[in-house]
Structure 1
Amino acid sequence: MAFRDPPRPATTNHKNKGIGCVSQTLAVTAHRLVKKFGGRRVVDGIDLQVPAGTIYGVLGPNGAGKTTTLRMLLGIIEPDEGERTLLGHDRPREASDQVGYLPEERGLYPAMKAREAIAFMGALRGLPWGVGRKRAVELMENAGLGYAVDTKIRKLSKGMAQLVQLLGSVVHQPDLLVLDEPFSGLDPVNQENLEKLIRGEQARGATVLFSTHVMAHAERLCDRLAIIAGGKRRFEGTVNDARGQLPMQAHYTPERDDPGIARILPADARHNGSEWIFSVPDGGIEDMLRLLTQSGHGVTGLSIERPGLHDAFVKIVGAKALADAEAEAL
């Protein structure tokens, strides 16, 4: 049997202040993707560029179009408009053996043993059965599930079965791992195990693309992310880029707290227990601290922190749009 080199992922060129063109390898691209269901644009002109070797998150509220976008990228459904490439292929399904996919809808054969289920999923991607069974044991042991390799799926907890399906999506060591809401339904321990697995896949050289509506996972894991709402991309960049959409936040604890303190603090100041939280003014915080000290309120605690990704997400998407999307998904 003759072997040929796999097709190259797409590249994009960027001018770098006269130094020349710097080529960046892209594992996934999307240009103006549109998908309509019943006349409604569920995905409305989304652009994505996922650099190879990165962990890339697609964030959005329920009903934002995340799952539909991933399915179009994988070639499971066809876009009504737009173009996409997957590992250099214009026809994404030609790259299916190089991809691991965990869909939002979980499903395994309940009568299969865990080891066989993982090996079976690898075999669907061209992995020899014996290799798959051996790797299945190693993967389960690394995930803390070594004791359950011969347990039938029907006897596993929901979280354990979900991890088994996840291991089945990586057993063939794919170049691209696509995970749709992978943390949904997992307890905190298994969420931590999943984060370790995602980082391990990146360390192996894989690109990881996952969707989520939970900011904490994206904040810890993502090299880059896209925020979508209402089927449109609202932001693309790093976590710090997103957090930079908001001013720095001051956490201030006075020596004496009374209603008069609100007249000194910025208009967006809010009380949270014993402290006040507010945006740092453009001119800095020194003049305000001087007024607080002179008025007798004093300072017992002060820290200045970058806003969290959740706050940036609300700012980018809009509180009303976020609430409307969540209500529509119920």
Structure 2
Amino acid sequence: MNRRYRRNPDLILEWGSEHDGVVLVDSRTLRRFAVKRTLLGVLNRMSAPVLPGELALEDGAAPGPQETEALLARLAEAGIVEPVDDAQVVDDPPNPTPPELAVHALAARGGIARSRLDEVDIPPARLRHREASEVIPLPAGEGDSRPLRELLRSRTSIRDFAETPVGSAELGRFLGDSARVRGWLGPDRLQATRRPSASGGGRHSLEIYVLARAVADLPPGAYHYDPFAHQLAKLQPWDAELDDLQHRLICRPTLTEHPPPVSIYLAAYHQRVRWKYGGMTLSLIYRDTGCLLQTMYLVATDLGLAPCATAAVEPQASPEFLRPYREDVVHVANFALGNPADSAPTSPDFRPLNGARP
């Protein structure tokens, strides 16, 4: 009777249907348990280890020792509670958190059977902002590239930018080399495309929004990059809202006072992935984001531009230019772009490993 028990720290509480009531989900195994309200009251008092004799029902009544021990044994067998040794550290919250563990567990599950492909309404791979006030074609920006090995050695985050604008040809080449659609994959109805960066299933959910503060021959404002036509759709002129957005998502995370000439706001059109991968959706979007950011880094390095990604994200997309799409997209990352400053006061010192090639 001296054994202590605590609630499984990896449980997540979900609201079930009218018939299921409250549901507990083990975020590691994704097992689901429909539980009664009385049991929730007991579990609520088990965030720290307790002895069976310390438990009582919500109305204050205490079951007998044998009944309590039997209940806890059943709950432990199911994985809802767990026995705890006195020497075990139990005060620290689980790390990762239960929601993070649940996303990780879902990353290996999902997808629909090929036999059901004909039953699915597949979202288009191209997002058209028909409300745009202007469409601006981008220059192709052809040119020679440096060797890949050299780019990999030179790639770094640069947080200090010169005051000179980014050239429109440079911006065009940056977007074209890092994100332009190269062609279709498979039947047209599958809406899978090939682009410079990898994407699970060729879904490519990421939409690129360019906050152009200082770009030669381009009016300041917010633009959507159309990777099919290699053009920008103007969505909003530069205003105080874009100033604030750039400071919140670029300047504060990088600890710099001066904003870059160009900021990229990456938003994932999640239904483009969800229809095929279900519970794996968020995990795949994050992986795709990493692939695109690395591609952007290498292209920017090739062009001699200063790149820097930031991971500050908004729970819901706040820009006014995304108001009609807020239920359809999730904000996933940002990318700063400009010409490197002559000095870099916010860059950390770099110390090569002994014997390593520079």
Normalized per residue, the structure richer in helix is: 1
Q: Judging by fraction of residues, say which structure has more strand.
A: 1
Compare CA radii of gyration and give the structure with the larger one.
2
TM-score (norm 2): 0.23
